[in-house]
Amino acid sequence: MTELLRPVVDPDEFVRLFGRPFTHEAHACGRVNLIGEHTDYNGGFVLPTAIPQSTTAVVAPGRDRTVRAWSADVDGAAPVGFELGQERPGRGWIDYVQGTTVALARAGFTVAGFDVAFRSYVPVGSGLSSSAALEVSLLRALRSLFGLALDDVTLAKIGRAAETDFVGAPIGIMDQMSASLASPGEALFIDTRTLETHRVPLPRGTELLVINSGVAHNHAAGDYRTRRAECERAAALLGVRELRDLGVGDLARVAELPPPLDRRARHVITENQRVLDAVEAMRAGRPDVLGRLFNESHASQRDDYAVSVLEIDLLVELACEEPAVYGARLTGGGFGGSIVALVREGEAAAAGSRVVAAYGARTGHAATVLVPPIAGHTGAGAL
């Protein structure tokens, strides 16, 4: 993986906006999930890695209990304000800031007013955790500004609470754990029930290719919420707390569930096993096995979990036609977003360019190679 791409917030712009210089700066990466999709909110296993694109948050002490926030990536934006303790949802991108201050207060952490500015290279709606990068960069900046006793796992929990309890996106904790703990060049195995983590090196002689389809998704939308409810219903019918409590030996029982609950549960159970198998493949240096698991994961998301779309399926198909590609899959929540492919080292950029060109010719969508970064490419967008 390459070095981090850290966007810069212009100090003079901050002074122009807020009348004072910023005092603290923090960054957080987006993530690509290598395998383990829709398992985190089922108490299961995930295997993300950080991508080079990151979000920057710069902060300064404010006045009284007023928070003022600005993003370089919101067209024509002026600073948006609110009072601590008076946060109200439904205000657009500022909800992620409001949600963070609410979650901090509920967790027992006290902050005063502050000014914050963001700039991000993590594209919105791409399945690469732009919201988690914003939340974690803000929390890191506030940790420094106010001397908060926040360890990295607690920080991730607060970021997730901001998104689930205030913004209303029914996500698991993978995104915030990855933004808080993951590093480029290695995978982060997370047991989302215990929050135990292990770092796993990517196989030698390989690199990742991440392509944004140009079809945006929205975690707060109904389809994602429906999938979570279906999993909860399946677990209840099977008499377990979470689908994590079942293994591949239980698939015969799962097959007796009414559709589509049988397919939803089958995806989660087999995907959990694929994460464990992927860790073993990486430790054994078997990119061929890891690539096969990528392909199986995508088929399961497409057929059993029904979160892929035609454009994503086409990107995966085109990627798998490349001789240097071991395997490819939808990454992120689905209904658009991005794909991740495992590629022979040194060949991802060329393969990605060919895939993007063929995809554009067939769909009219402008896909973007995000990893490896194209020369001069910085990504785009923040919340």
Of 130, 165, 199, the residue that ends a domain is: 199
Any idea what the CATH number is for the domain that residue 294 is in? 3.30.70.890
Q: What is the pLDDT of residue 87?
A: 98
| Per-residue model confidence as pLDDT tens digits over 131-163 | 999 999 999 999 999 999 999 999 999 999 999
Quote the pLDDT of residue 382: 39
pLDDT-derived band of residue 383, with 50, 70 and 90 as boundaries?
very low
Give me the catalytic one of 40, 175, 262, 304. Answer: 175
134 within a domain of the structure (yes/no): yes
Q: Which residue has the higher pLDDT, 220 or 233?
A: 233
Based on the fold, state whether residues 28 and 117 are members of the same structural domain.
Answer: yes
pLDDT score of 221: 55
Tell whether 194 and 219 lie within a shared domain.
no
Predicted pLDDT of residue 3: 65
Any domain includes 1: no
3-state SS string over 203-239?
Answer: CCCEEEEEEECCCCCCCCCHHHHHHHHHHHHHHHHHC
The token duo for 64 is 């009284």
pLDDT in tens, 252-288: 999 999 999 999 999 999 999 999 999 999 999 999 9
- Report the number of distinct structural domains present in the chain: 2
What is the extent of the structural domain holding 158?
Answer: 11-199
185 and 208 in a single domain? The answer is: no
The residue from 146, 174, 199 where one domain ends is 199
Mean local confidence (pLDDT), 230-247: 98
Pair (186, 266) in one structural domain: no
- Report the pLDDT value the prediction gives residue 381, as an integer from 0 to 100: 43
Asked if 61 and 145 count as a contact pair (C-beta separation under 8 A), the reply is yes
- Summarize pLDDT for 285-336 with one digit per residue, the tens: 999 999 999 999 999 999 999 999 999 999 999 999 999 999 999 998 899 9
Q: Are 189 and 49 in contact (CB under 8 A)?
A: no
Residue 233 lies in a domain: yes
Number of Cα atoms under 13 Å in the Cβ half of residue 56: 19
Residue 140 belongs to a domain: yes
Q: So what's the pLDDT on residue 184?
A: 84
Ramachandran region of residue 297, left (φ > 0), alpha (ψ -120 to 50) or beta?
alpha
**Residue 39 near residue 192, CB atoms below 8 Å:** yes
Within-domain flag for 97: yes
Do 211 and 346 have their domain in common? yes
Angle at 101 between CA 98 and CA 107, to 5 degrees: 140
In terms of domains, do 156 and 283 share one? no
> Domain check: are 180 and 250 in the same one?
no
Q: Which among 182, 199, 216 is the end of a domain?
A: 199
Residues 221, 338, single domain; the answer is: yes
Band (376; pLDDT cuts 50, 70, 90): very low
Do 257 and 287 share a domain, yes or no? yes
For residue 77 the two structure tokens come to 């934006």
Residue 3, domain member (yes or no)? no
Whether residue 278 is found in the same domain as residue 186 = no
Whether 211 and 263 map to the same domain: the answer is yes
User: Is 288 noted as a catalytic residue in this protein?
Assistant: no
pLDDT digits (tens, 9 = 90+) for 57-108: 999 999 899 999 999 998 767 899 999 999 999 999 999 999 999 999 999 9
Q: Is residue 256 part of a domain?
A: yes
Strands (E), the chain: 24-35, 45-61, 66-71, 80-83, 114-120, 186-191, 196-201, 206-212, 325-331, 338-344, 368-371
Residues listed for the chain: 383
Q: For residue 152, how many other CB atoms are within 10 A of its CB?
A: 16
Looking at the fold, whether 178 and 221 belong to one and the same domain comes out as: no
Query: What pLDDT was estimated at residue 2?
Result: 52
Long-range pairs of 7-15 with CB within 8 A, sequence gap ≥ 24: 7/54, 7/55, 7/56, 7/72, 7/119, 7/120, 7/121, 7/378, 8/56, 8/119, 9/56, 9/58, 9/72, 9/117, 9/118, 9/119, 13/72, 13/117, 14/58, 14/60, 14/115, 14/117
% of the chain exceeding 70 in pLDDT: 95
Find the CATH number of the domain harbouring 37.
3.30.230.10
The number of helices, as runs of H, and strands, as runs of E, in the chain is 11, 11
For residues 246 and 378, the model is more confident at 246
d(C-alpha 204, C-alpha 202), whole Å: 6
Q: In which band, very low, low, confident or very high, does the pLDDT at 218 lie, cut at 50, 70 and 90?
A: low
The model's pLDDT over 16-36, given as tens digits with 9 standing for 90+, comes to 999 999 999 999 999 999 999
Query: Has residue 302 been placed in a domain?
Result: yes
Lowest mean pLDDT among 77-81, 175-179, 344-348: 77-81
